[in-house]
Amino acid sequence: MNEKQTGLMLVGVGGGGVGIAAAAAAAFGAGMQAVGFDTDAMTSRQLPGGLMRCLLIGVPRCDGRATGGDMVKGRTAAQDDVEAIKNALAGTRTAVVVATLGGGVGGGATPEILRALRELGAHTLCFAALPFELEGPERRAAAMRALPLIEENADALVVVPLDDLFADAGGYALADAIPRAEAMLAAGLTLFWRLVLTPGFIPLDVETIHALLRQSGGRCRFAVASAEGAGRGVEAVSRLSRSALLGKGTGFAGAQAVALGVLAGADLCLAELSEISKRVQAALPGGCRFHLGTMLDERFAGHVHLVALAFDAWRDAAATAPDVKSGDETTMETLMPLAGDSRPGRGRGGAGRSKLSFGATGRGRFKGVEATLLNGEDLDIPAYLRRGLTLDR
Ligand SMILES: Nc1nc2c(ncn2[C@@H]2O[C@H](COP(=O)(O)OP(=O)(O)OP(=O)(O)O)[C@@H](O)[C@H]2O)c(=O)[nH]1
Ligand SMILES: [Mg+2]
């Protein structure tokens, strides 16, 4: 199955987001469907030819320049060009959206792009990077203001503090900080893409990710770890559990569902895989759902790479409408065995975005924000709500 058939799309927003998406596309090689959006023409010019498309948005207001950290400009740029954005995203069923917050486009345009994806019927997993501490409190504050609007419009949100990515990457010179952090996240995305698109011995395919996103109720965490040589499986699990991206010292605590991808060479033996799975499951809280996927490829010979998505909220399968559009009736209840029997987290986040709760969302996260009125319409309320449409999700 190729990427077009799976409808899997990588979307970069703003300078940093496009940079990370481009690094992932370059690492993946030919065939990754990726598109970027920015008001700054330089972002597109800096991309190596043929790697990915980058659409210039908000030209009348921004004249091909950055917004200078102005999130209102970034948001309006996306609103003005929503039709072009939707055209560029047509056919997407599952989108991984990457944005670095603190700037105007990543912070302002990302909620609009997520909303456009939702209107197209796509499921979304958003990676939002928080600025380095050293960038100062204003950037951090701008990022924190953007976060609720992004969370409101994404199926699942992974918040990635750039400082934590850097911590995982080890100590590097200051000049290397952004490229290193970028490479870390891009490598994780590339592994995730390979895992989802390549049929494995135990698949973790796009349908499974779809089902996970449908039942995940918001925040999730993402971590990657690798090891090689003797004891590589055990070492990779230990590195994964220690990853700063899972939370400092918390490991998988609080997770309601975990999807683990194991990428290795054909030299991986069943006993090693079983040991990895056993150790990760032992590190999960009671009742946490667990789904394992594998992908074997000669280029990984001698290595084990682990990719984990830990969902911190979970909606009851009964509360989630099946994806009627795609005819996909699968839910994680049928897809995966449960790691425990008590399932204490069952239904947590159940007031999430089911068909019914859409109508009740109202201004949602915008409720504390001054309304953006245009011709008597509140633009902070998604168009499908304003127009009384129902979305099947
Ligand atoms: N990973 C990565 N992060 C970056 C890069 N440039 C900036 N950042 C981070 O991203 C944050 C937002 O900057 P940009 O992505 O340039 O902002 P933008 O969304 O393009 O918006 P404006 O430039 O303000 O119009 C910064 O505060 C940095 O933390 C980059 O090249 N790579
Ligand atoms: Mg920029």
Write down the pLDDT at residue 375: 41
Atom from ligand 1 closest to the CA of residue 40: 25
146, pLDDT greater than 50: yes
Residues with CB under 5 A from ligand 2 (ion): 15, 40, 66
The CA distance from 256 to 290, in Å, is 9
Beta carbon of 136 within 6 Å of any ligand 1 atom: no
Beta carbon of 71 within 6 Å of any ligand 1 atom: no
345, pLDDT greater than 90: no
Contact 268, 262 (CB under 8 A): yes
Q: Which of 56, 100, 138, 180 to mutate to test the pocket of ligand 1 (most atoms within 8 A of CB)?
A: 100
Is 7-197 a CATH 3.40.50.1440 domain?
yes
Mean local confidence (pLDDT), 77-97: 96
Write down the pLDDT at residue 361: 30
Beta carbon of 182 within 6 Å of any ligand 1 atom: yes
Q: How far is the CA of 102 from the centre of ligand 1 (A)?
A: 7
Q: How far is the CA of 239 from the centre of ligand 1 (A)?
A: 28
Superfamily of domain 220-335: Tubulin/FtsZ, C-terminal domain (3.30.1330.20)
180, pLDDT greater than 90: no
Domain residues of the chain, as ranges? 7-197, 220-335, 355-386
The helix (run of H) or strand (run of E) holding residue 25 is: helix 14-28
352, pLDDT greater than 60: no
The CA distance from 168 to 269, in Å, is 28
**In terms of pLDDT, which residue wins out, 355 or 119?**
119
Beta carbon of 131 within 6 Å of any ligand 1 atom: yes
Helix (H, G, I), strand (E, B) or coil at 97: strand
pLDDT confidence tier of residue 132, bands split at 50, 70 and 90: confident
* Interacting residues of 183 by C-beta distance below 8 A, sequence separation 6+: 23, 169
368, pLDDT greater than 90: no
Tell me the residue ranges of DSSP E strands in the chain.
Answer: 8-13, 34-38, 53-56, 94-100, 123-130, 156-161, 219-228, 257-264, 289-296, 303-311, 373-374, 377-378
- Produce one character per residue of 11-47: b if its CB has 16 or more CB atoms within 10 Å, e if not: bbbbbbbbbbbbbbbbbbeeebbbbbbbbbbebbeeb
Q: Do domains 7-197 and 220-335 have the same CATH topology?
A: no
Beta carbon of 293 within 6 Å of any ligand 1 atom: no
* Interacting residues of 312 by C-beta distance below 8 A, sequence separation 6+: 218, 219, 220, 221, 254, 255, 256
Beta carbon of 135 within 6 Å of any ligand 1 atom: yes
End-to-end CA distance of the chain: 23
Looking at the CA of 47, which ligand is closest? 1
Contact 268, 304 (CB under 8 A): yes
Beta carbon of 100 within 6 Å of any ligand 1 atom: yes
Q: What are phi and psi of 362, to 5 degrees?
A: 55, -130
The CA distance from 59 to 45, in Å, is 15
pLDDT confidence tier of residue 33, bands split at 50, 70 and 90: very high
Write down the pLDDT at residue 198: 83
Beta carbon of 102 within 6 Å of any ligand 1 atom: yes
Q: Which two tokens stand for residue 207?
A: 């349908």
The CA distance from 262 to 305, in Å, is 6
